[in-house]
Structure 1
Amino acid sequence: MAKKLVTPLSMVVAGNGTAYVSQNFAGLLTAVPPGGKPRVIYAAKKGTEVGALSASRGKIHFATTKGRRTALWSMRPGSRPTKVADLWQHERTKNPDGDVAYGFSDLDAACAAQMPPEVPAAYTGILESHPYATAVHKRRTYVADAAGNTILSVKPNGKVSTVAVLPPVPVVVTAEAAAANGLPACTVGHTFNFESVPTDVEVGKGGWLYVTLLPGGPEDGSIGAQGRLVKVKARTGKVREVASGFAGATGVAVARNGDVYVAQLFGGQVSRIKAGSTAARPWAEIMMPAAVEWARGDVYVSAQVLSEKPKGVVLRY
């Protein structure tokens, strides 16, 4: 449907079949009409990332990130965007994962002192926000904040609240993982709690939100495929794991029949989890897929998203 895009990391398909795709690092929002040519409908100021797309009631919702400043916006195609909420303000004042323990919990002081400077032995959630995905349901916009490790809820009046803090992803360090990442041998057999890094959120049935977790850590496969798909109860924040074993889970789509599709950025595929199952099966081999959407029986995927040149594409299956 479109090609020569720059980092198309987020996408939504409107009711009329138009796919709206972000070119995150170029700060662009692009419309791709069925059978038509892509056109830029919004360009942010230089140095501003645009992403986290969703659609509702004829409006496109998206987020911007510039340094630490993050915000949620909405716009009707052809009009100027309206700022809905200051997401950084919520992170700065609440820091929802500020008491969550990451890293190792049981290393002795001698072992912890051998850790490389870029890998803290243990720490708690820092002040950081990077809204990566949104979904709208009943006039609320749910935000997956990849840096804040949270799912947020934003009311139409701009009030932001925390739905859930996604739990850390525990990984037992193997000898191979320690060697590949420069960790001391004394860490082998111990559990490192990685940040969850939620990358997409979609609305399912029964008040559940489906959320992909990247998670944090090395992206070269040296710690294994640690990506997760979880469900979050929108009303209570309860978290349940649905499936695991993904290599860079960056996108999720929920079909009308309950099937769930997960994009694996580093696994080179989109997987499908049939309704009622917890087993993810390969569905399509795709180079560096990021966003996946289901609309009117079709599956839309953005791919080749991390190329140094503008080679990103939007595919429809």
Structure 2
Amino acid sequence: MAAGAAVLLAGSLLGAPTAGAAPAPEPTTVAKKLVSPLSMVVAGDGTAYVSQNFAGLLTAVPPGGKPKVVFAAPRKGTEVGALSESGGVVHFATTKGKKAVLWWMRPGGKPMMQADLGAYEARKNPDGKQAYGFSDLDATCLAQIPKEVPGAYTGIVESHPYGSAVHRGTTYVADAAGNSILGVDARGKVSTVAVLPPVAVVITAEAATANKLPACVVGHTYAFEPVPTDVEVGTGGWLYVSLLPGGPEDGSTGANGMVVKVKARTGKVRTVATGLAAATGVAVADNGDVYVAQLFGGMVSRIKAGSDRAVPYVMAKMPAAVEWSDGHLLVSANVLSEKPRGTVLQY
């Protein structure tokens, strides 16, 4: 039961389609043969920028045109992701080990460093005082928990920028490993907007058996790391955030993903919808409807404005990024294929 969570791995269980899903609109293929397209943004001129995270590439797809790589990480093993755009400037992050950097780049230009997010995490560790795991087990029970399952711990120093959004000069970053939403101003100053609360799950007898946990944990609550995977700007100063969260990927502890909203000015967090199977991307439509990709649920769901219920919208194999642009929903799918078979679909 991996509680910490920072990286999505191939080979995860894809959940069965939910009964009662509405008929899906017929999609148009925008791009294909991509490697791990986990993040995406559509610029004002209609160009879709797509990350190929594990290949270390940033790809631009002009309207009706062919994909073109506009940035390639110079060092092997560097991940590219957390895309956003404002005023023609594309923002993205690179992550390799403890090094996590936010960049900005104009079309045709070279990337410029906006902020060293890894250094900020090392200095501040925003969730360093947040408790994860079990909080009420006695020492005898804790000693029986397998070593690969952290029984009780606080947030470690680790940064993995996974999603971003720009609003009024501030780049908001969903740090999946830091369990926080960061704000980076135009001068590169980093601040903590919010530390996301743990996701509390009561361990059932079935979950304990599936994860080889001792019987003494049954009925106790495990606080999973929330793992924010995307952030989008809504109305009224709210940021919408998708949470994975940490934990086993086989659904043995339930579908614990969710969408929350964060007040950018105060850091206040409110729950929007729960019961999602690995929420990896969120988009906000012009009318306030929220779309969320469920990587392990094999679908994109819609949360109507003012509702707290996620309803299946389209079925897709391993969807990750979702973006709303000009009345259309763009979805990256098949994102964890071992071969370059990732696609971007427009609905």
Whether the TM-score (by the shorter chain) exceeds 0.5 is yes
Task: Provide the residue aligned with 1:110 in structure 2.
Answer: 140
Contact 2:255 2:276 (8 Å CA) reproduced = yes
Cα distance in 2 for partners of 1:174, 1:198 equals 25
Question: Greater RCO between the two (CA within 8 Å, min separation 6)?
Answer: 2
Cα distance in 1 for partners of 2:301, 2:182 equals 26
Task: Provide the residue aligned with 1:167 in structure 2.
Answer: 197
Contact 2:44 2:87 (8 Å CA) reproduced = no
The one of 227, 233, 239 aligned to 2:257: 227
Alpha-carbon distance, 1:78 to partner: 1.1
After superposition, residues 56-75 of structure 1 pair within 5 angstroms as: 56-75=86-105
Q: Which letter does structure 1 place at the counterpart of 2:279?
A: A
1:264-286 CA distance string (max 9 Å, x none): 00000000011111111000000
Alpha-carbon distance, 1:150 to partner: 0.2
Q: Which letter does structure 2 place at the counterpart of 1:127?
A: V
Instruction: Compute the TM-score of the two structures, normalised by the length of structure 1.
Output: 0.99
Q: Does residue 1:179 correspond to 2:209, yes or no? A: yes
1:161-219 CA distance string (max 9 Å, x none): 00000000000001111111111111111000000000000000000000011000111
The one of 20, 33, 57 aligned to 1:4: 33
1:72-119 CA distance string (max 9 Å, x none): 000012110000000011100001100000000011111100000011
Cα distance in 1 for partners of 2:127, 2:40 equals 27
Q: Which letter does structure 2 place at the counterpart of 1:118?
A: E
Task: Provide the residue aligned with 2:318 in structure 1.
Answer: 288
Cα distance in 2 for partners of 1:120, 1:21 equals 35
Q: Does residue 1:304 correspond to 2:334, yes or no? A: yes
Instruction: Compute the TM-score of the two structures, normalised by the length of structure 2.
Output: 0.91
- Count of residues in Structure 1 that have an aligned counterpart in Structure 2: 317
Task: Provide the residue aligned with 1:27 in structure 2.
Answer: 56
Cα distance in 2 for partners of 1:62, 1:260 equals 23
The one of 75, 92, 102 aligned to 2:122: 92
Alpha-carbon distance, 1:137 to partner: 0.2
CA RMSD of aligned residues (A): 0.5
Q: Which letter does structure 2 place at the counterpart of 1:39?
A: K
After superposition, residues 228-267 of structure 1 pair within 5 angstroms as: 228-267=258-297
Cα distance in 2 for partners of 1:211, 1:272 equals 14
The one of 77, 81, 89 aligned to 2:111: 81
Structure 1 residue runs without a partner (length 5+): none
After superposition, residues 133-144 of structure 1 pair within 5 angstroms as: 133-144=163-174
Q: Does residue 1:214 correspond to 2:244, yes or no? A: yes
After superposing the two structures, state which structure 1 stretch, 31-40 or 283-292, moved more.
31-40
SS of the residue corresponding to residue 163 of structure 2 reads: strand
Cα distance in 1 for partners of 2:206, 2:96 equals 37
The one of 246, 267, 276 aligned to 2:306: 276
Alpha-carbon distance, 1:33 to partner: 1.4
The one of 228, 237, 246 aligned to 1:198: 228
1:121-142 CA distance string (max 9 Å, x none): 1000000000000000000000
Q: Does residue 1:124 correspond to 2:154, yes or no? A: yes
Cα distance in 2 for partners of 1:68, 1:250 equals 22
Alpha-carbon distance, 1:32 to partner: 1.0
Structure 2 residue runs without a partner (length 5+): 1-29
SS of the residue corresponding to residue 111 of structure 1 reads: helix
Q: Which letter does structure 2 place at the counterpart of 1:134?
A: S
Task: Provide the residue aligned with 2:67 in structure 1.
Answer: 38
Q: Which letter does structure 2 place at the counterpart of 1:176?
A: E
1:293-313 CA distance string (max 9 Å, x none): 000100000000001111100
Could you list the structure 1 runs, at least 4 aligned residues long, displaced by more than 2 angstroms after superposition: none
SS of the residue corresponding to residue 143 of structure 1 reads: strand
SS of the residue corresponding to residue 89 of structure 1 reads: helix
Q: Which letter does structure 1 place at the counterpart of 2:335?
A: V
SS of the residue corresponding to residue 60 of structure 1 reads: strand
Contact 2:54 2:80 (8 Å CA) reproduced = yes
Task: Provide the residue aligned with 2:45 in structure 1.
Answer: 16
Cα distance in 2 for partners of 1:273, 1:108 equals 41
